[in-house]
Structure 1
Amino acid sequence: MVTHHVHVSRYQGGHISDLRVNEQIRAREVRLVGPQGEQVGIVSLDKALQLAADVDLDLVEVAPTARPPVCKLMDYGKHKYETALKAREARRNQQQTVIKEMKLRPKIDDHDYETKKGHVIRFLKAGDKVKITIMFRGREQSRPELGLRLLKKLGDEVADLGVVESAPKQDGRNMIMVLAPHRAKQPVAAPRPGKKSDESEPATSE
């Protein structure tokens, strides 16, 4: 029987996974799948192990209940790493996204607008989505263009930090829009105190 002591030693013990790897496989013959997914066919276990050793890959029993069991040639260490990476990414994507809400009036004054825009900027920088709600009262409900204009202005002014995920739409007496942060954006590091004075040239007396 062919043995592959050096090649197999990295994965002996079965502690990485329940899958049988290399000489842990017990079947006399296997249905072999190549590293690119190509069907090699039914071969003896000895031949499959030899093929794995020839290309410096592992023989992994991916379907043990099949008859004969299905084995694939792969880099098992790389496979485990990529599987763990995908699992972490899936868990990250499943995390509930925080949605903040900011309410504005269609005829908001400049000072209040700038204050509320500052909050929106802070939320986006923190990676949170922001639901912008324009609240109409009385006759203001007949002027939806005021809300649209305000939402467009706000969206344009924070475009470097977020995108309009949900376009403005009427919701009863209100009009809403949802902003989402740019995920690729990285926080801008604050300049270190004294850096400007350190880099500036010394003053010269005349």
Structure 2
Amino acid sequence: MSTEPRINDRIRVPEVRLVGPNGEQVGIVSIQDALRLAQEQDLDLVEVAATARPPVVKVMDYGKYKYESALKAREARKNQAHTVIKEMKLRPKIDPHDYETKKGHVVRFLKAGDKVKITIMFRGREQSRPELGRRLLSKLAEDVAELGFVEFAPKQDGRNMIMVLGPHKKKTEAMAEARLAKEQRKAGGVVGETETADAEALDTEVLDTEALDTEAETTETAESAESAEQTEGLVGAAAAAADQTGEEQS
């Protein structure tokens, strides 16, 4: 069965209570007059209250209305928080390294606003020592006390012992913080890239300046050498001319 409202010619009643496009109350009119008013304004006639007597219809842009409704529904789903129960299984004689790993998962779940079901699995003779399971669950509850609390106290269930931890933080708060952290990381990445690009540009500018200075020094040295050579040539020519003059006089 379709959940969409009836529009235009699909509204098959003799009279309707008409609402204008700006929310104004027109009153009870025939369906033909209502359709004519909607067509004159190049809009649709949409049934908004089918169970009323007579049904209530409104003149509107139905395509725009559907689009805005879809956006609102999407936003509502984005902010909707579903309670999730995660499960973590432990052994009574768990290795310290494995315990830290499992505890890390529990911390992550609680930070995300999820509940965590802790299950201690007993095997063989371990079933005769339930205090090992209670001791381990108490230790875990103390280690994550800042993030969660014991919502369901440890209880023996056949070979297993079960405890449920609930988060102090609501799911919606955790989701909002996660979105904020993500936006901050993105903003930090953009700033970092900009600073890196500026630093590279500055380094390039310094290198270009050093290259120009080096080129200028090279040019200046070459010019000085050339000038010295020219001076030496002139001095040599003058000395040769003097010698020749002395010889002629002799």
Structure richer in strand, relative to its length = 1
TM-score, length-scaled by structure 2: 0.41
Q: Between Structure 1 and Structure 2, whose CA radius of gyration is higher? A: 2
- TM-score calculated relative to the size of structure 1: 0.47
- Structure with more helix by fraction: 2
